[in-house]
A = this chain, B = another copy of it.
């Protein structure tokens, strides 16, 4: 049986193969030949789908952001409590970045300035996703004097670092998210503030 869209039937496996290799070994260390081999193509065949290696990375990044956003939005629909929503978001984020085959790992492993030729585009995609976290932090009831931008940056740093130390036998993603927010739920009032 012939299908009309046979042209894209190997694009998916190409993208997921690239995602897995990029997230495991990094961008520079992954060769186009590695990617081709993993998805059963010959080395040159990648260039039928993408004009170059950078464009392939951008495509993986896009899919990563899409998957992260989709999953996060779906769990956010289950709660109205600001702290619970943040905890759900962080738990889902951790879940997705510790899954080594996932596109999401690429987004935290490959920093935009690792690939200068597409740095602006990668930054745009990251920022697009981080808006979700910014809004969740923005909705929290916090004492005056809390810098929500810094809080967001501390949280994203802490959860992305989980990718480095996570072990399947240890704390689960939701346990990690819960323990992290234990600290942020009750910030100490800033004291000894000099007049400025």
Contact = CB atoms under 8 A, between A and B. Distances in A.
Contacts of A114: 26, 29
B171 A182 contact: no
B182 A154 contact: no
A111 interface: yes
A28 B111 CA distance: 14
Interface of A is mostly: helix
A100 to B, nearest CB: 11
Contacts of A179: 147, 150
Interface of A: 26-29, 111, 114, 147, 150-151, 153-162, 164-165, 171, 176, 179-180, 182-188, 190
Given A28-B28, A29-B28, A183 B165 contact: no
A111 B186 contact: no
B171 A161 contact: no
Nearest to A114: B26
Contact of A151 (B153, B171, B183): B183
A54 to B, nearest CB: 13
B156 A161 contact: yes
